[in-house]
A and B are shown apart, each in its own frame.
Chain A
Amino acid sequence: MKGIKAIIISLSPLAVAWFALFFGAYGVSPLMVIKILLDETFHLFEFGDIPEKAIIFDIRLPRVLLAGLVGAALSCAGVTLQGIFRNPLVDPFILGISAGAAFGCAITIGFLSFLPLQFIAFIFATLAVMIAYAIARFQGEVSRLPLILSGIIVSAFFTAMVSIVKFLVDPHKLQSIVYWLMGSFSLSDWRAVKISLIGFLAGVLPIFLMRWRLNVLSMGDEEAKALGVNVRRERILFIAFSTFAVAVATSLSGIIGWVGLMVPHLLRMLTGPDHKTLVPLSISAGAAFMIAADTISRTLTSFDIPVGIITALTGAPFFIYLMKRGGEEAWGK
């Protein structure tokens, strides 16, 4: 039963992506999507320059891929940080990544518009986590609770800085800042896909390879040490990889909440807490969920609703349902 669930979840991104490719304002038939994809790879049909081809390759495919890669990164980082901090309610932004990215975005749009927005957002996201880590360091050791606290402090600081920028800039710029902060894939292109692929290969892939260690680390520092794990080193690695993955994702899409918290949580209930399967399934399900949420956000109305709103709107009631249904068990007790 668990095996069947795992197979369905693993394959879900492909099914959702296919659906997302034919669904939209310009109708492309489901079969045509497959034909066009096959034609591009194997040159079977020789379509030439038809509009469907442009819609798929220039607009929908990069958007679907970007949404998938960002969703995978957020969900993978969520499950990793939940394991390390031994808390199923930790989200990938806990160490200040989102507030740092938001500040980078705000000053770039507000005052430094000659600089590349995504790069600056990435720099500040990473910087925020490094500051949080430095604050939490006592006598060369970094424990879990001080780290969560310093993450909250750093988040609060950068959030206040964002507010100052919002207060000072002119209303037009304010609008762009607010829109960016809500998270969206409306500006997807192949360049963004390539950058997010770097985040995936350098952040998500190493976590996937190290995933079983998360089981041991989640038992607590002393126990993991007793089992032969170099806790300090492995925790830094996990934090570094997930920070990189989330910082790249956030710099490309803005701040998209709920995915990194909700997806691993749901999977833990469906297929169990063992990180050996939980991490790969979180990567797949995160991608599938984000592609689905983005498809809804671009097709629900005549304009693009920021996808962050969709994830929050689906996330909140879904969580209430899980909480009421699962009771104590839903919280990993």
Chain B
Amino acid sequence: MLEIKDLSFRHKGVKEDLLKNISFNAQKGQITTILGPNGSGKTTLFKCIVGFWKPSKGDIIYEGSSIRNLSYSKRAKILSIVPQEHEPPFPYSVFEVVLMGRASHLGIFSTPSKRDYEIAEKCLEIVGIFHLKDKSYTKISGGERQLTLIARALAQQAPIMLLDEPTSHLDFRNQIVILMKIKEIAINNSLVILMTLHDPNMAGIFSDKLIVINSGLKIAEGKPHEIISEGLIKKIYGVEVIKIKFDGYNLIQPKI
């Protein structure tokens, strides 16, 4: 279990907190999604958990021990990250990109061993893109790149996986493909999955738990069908919506 405890963050020399006492936890084998509008503190929270920014207060705990002050290589063994897809400056093959997930397991003077190659190949198979192995990462589609980055995070063999808006640049089909794959991986590998998403409907459909954030504060937390409501959406996005209950899901539709 990953526990975020009383986390606050402010930039150096700034008085106002960007995050205010955020606490929640995320369970193994489940998808926990942080939902919130732009500027809500979603990305700040993400960067604090990842370790890019140091929280001014609070702690991040995995299985009882704090991971807040771990070195990059130790942290990478506990927590893997799937960034938003992007183009690297050199046209590495998909396999070479996935192999980079092994960096924290390798010393500075070593190159990947046969075992690292096998792990990377297995991760390609799990994600279902083994056929792209030798393709250039710069020549595949956005959805395929996102899957490559998920395979790379899997190759890190960390119990927690963080995904930063994994569907943001993708078309409808690829959004669903990616989120289904994430769900499958969470269950099969019993990972703690924590991600940020833009779309409240997608978040509601694919998440086991939602953490709703606005202005640096946690507004709501719970199962999607318990917390998604007209009032909540109005409060964080400032728009009127109608809630539709269907097949156990709470969906929202803009009022037009």
**Which residues on A are within 8 Å of B, measured CB to CB?**
83, 86-88, 209-213, 215-216, 218-220, 222-231, 234, 237, 268, 272-274, 276, 329, 332-333
Contacts and interface: CB of A to CB of B under 8 A. Distances in A.
A222 B88 contact: no
A226 B100 contact: no
Contacts of B90: 83, 88, 218, 268, 273, 332
B71 interface: yes
B53 to A, nearest CB: 11
Contact of A228 (B93, B103, B111): B103
B14 interface: no
A268 to B, nearest CB: 7
Interface stretch (B22-30, B59-67, B76-84, B214-222): B76-84
B106 interface: yes
Contact of A227 (B71, B104, B112): B104
Interface residues of B, number: 36
Contacts of B138: 333
B89 A213 contact: no
Contact of A274 (B51, B75, B92, B109): B92
Contacts of B88: 86, 218-220
Nearest to B100: A216
> Which 3 A-B pairs rank lowest in CB-CB distance, beginning with the nearest?
A228-B104, A228-B76, A273-B90
Contacts of B81: 223, 226
Contacts of A210: 108-109
Contacts of B75: 228
Given A87-B89, A88-B89, A215-B100, A228 B156 contact: yes
A332 B111 contact: no
17 contacts: A88-B89, A88-B90, A209-B109, A210-B108, A212-B111, A212-B112, A213-B108, A222-B83, A225-B51, A227-B100, A227-B103, A227-B152, A228-B73, A228-B75, A230-B73, A274-B96, A333-B91
Nearest to B52: A222
Among B91, B110, B138: residue with most chain A CB under 10 A: B91
A237 B72 CA distance: 17
Nearest to A226: B81
Contact of A226 (B50, B91, B92, B106): B50
A224 B83 CA distance: 11
B101 interface: yes
A209 B107 CA distance: 10
Nearest to A274: B96
Given A87-B89, A226-B76, A226-B83, A219 B108 contact: no
Contacts of A224: 103
A230 B80 CA distance: 15
Interface string B149-171: 00010001000000000000000
A234 B93 contact: no
A296 to B, nearest CB: 31
Most chain A CB within 10 A, of B51, B74, B90, is at B90
Contact of B71 (A222, A226, A230, A268): A230
Nearest to A206: B109
Q: Which of A88, A220, A273, A276 has the most CB of B within 10 A?
A: A273
Most buried by A among B75, B99, B100, B112: B100
Given A274-B96, A332-B91, A229 B112 contact: no
A86 B86 CA distance: 14
Contacts of A332: 89-91
B72 A215 contact: no
Contacts of B50: 226
Nearest to A329: B91
A276 B110 CA distance: 10
Contacts of A88: 89-90
B83 A228 contact: no
A106 to B, nearest CB: 35
Nearest to B108: A210
A216 B89 CA distance: 12
Given A88-B89, A218-B89, A219-B88, A228 B72 contact: yes
Nearest to B78: A228
Contacts of A228: 72-77, 103-105, 156
